[in-house]
Structure 1
């Protein structure tokens, strides 16, 4: 009986994660494509760091769900062509907390929920939503922060043009130790770029 409940629990977490991914895909195909592009580099970096299978699975799921909270933000804000005003930017910054609340409903993906919550925290403590820094930020969130920024710079967005590989490397190096874990930035540039 206990084993059956455990299996049902695992099925629920899998089904719930699949449901969340489907909602992202149906709500914003652009966000879905962005999330899919993160999986490869996140996996490569995690593999190089010798993450175990569970951690690798979590980093892949975090790649897919990191922007989950954007499903509750007005699409007019997300698709805006020009710069966001202060009120719009404040609303966008809530997406990590909203995504956490949605993912937290499944205890089996609690580490992923924590990653959703903290993937915009900065190494120097100047990120959001809490202003935590350094190794207080979960490793999977630090990985996704780098891969997310890389993807945003590499591809055309509503609000910016794609950057060259050289410019991306320059931006990542300049943000090492402030926005990003400096050790991970070095590895990312060496492995991926």
Structure 2
């Protein structure tokens, strides 16, 4: 399903809050962390909160019943969930107050350095902001849990990020992110 209506960032966030409050809360945390971390890295921070907060906006087109399912997903359900990156990309391409160049980061925010992600691209072929969102998204999910996943202690989350660097995450970005977390 392609969204053809022009949305605003606020409208998308309000819709996400109504559709799946847990995803909305996660997304706002990701937005705040992305803005702070990119500032820490000395990057341009304009629209970083929005990029992080809207990384899962494609879930608006996934039934909330599926998003809130506590049991293990079937293969077809998982394939439907994976479409949220494409849906978010398509939505953001048509959003007037969101830079189109950032939509690609939404599309690829579940890519892994070793090419084991949704679209099987890896390394530097993954846009830098998508690699950063990947780390922050995982960090927040592990730290705060999801309906299908219990939360972990901070130290365990850091261990997990470090164990998966070079496989899921870019090693230098993980090192920078953990240094950033220690300083905040």
TM-score (norm 2): 0.89
For residue 162 of structure 1, report the CA deviation from its aligned partner.
0.7
Q: Structure 1: which 4+ aligned runs deviate by more than 3 Å?
A: none
**1:118 CA displacement:** 0.7
2: CA distance, partners of 1:16 / 1:74: 21
Counterparts in 2 of 1:119-130, with a 5 A limit? 119-128=109-118, 130=119
Bigger Cα Rg: 1
C-alpha deviations, 1:84-104, integer Å up to 9, x for none? 111111110111001111111
List runs of 5+ in structure 2 lacking aligned partners. Answer: 1-5
Structure 1 residue 79, shift from structure 2 partner: 0.6
Give TM-score, length-normalised by structure 1: 0.85
1:40 Cα offset (Å): 2.8
1:32 paired with 2:24, answer yes
Aligned counterpart for 2:100 among listed residues 102, 110, 114: 110
User: Aligned pair count?
Assistant: 176
Please identify which structure carries the higher helix content: 1
Asked if the contact 1:38–1:148 (Cα under 8 Å) also holds between the matched residues in 2, the reply is yes
Q: Could you tell me which residue of structure 1 aligns to residue 3 of structure 2?
A: none
Deviation at 1:39, TM superposition (A): 2.4
For residue 64 of structure 1, report the CA deviation from its aligned partner.
0.8
Q: In structure 2, what is the Cα distance between the partners aligned to 1:22 and 1:161?
A: 26
Kept in 2, the 8 Å contact 1:123–1:181? The answer is yes
Query: Which of 12, 29, 40 is the equivalent residue of 1:48?
Result: 40
For the aligned residues, what is the CA RMSD?
Answer: 1.6
Unaligned 5+ segments in structure 1 are: 1-12
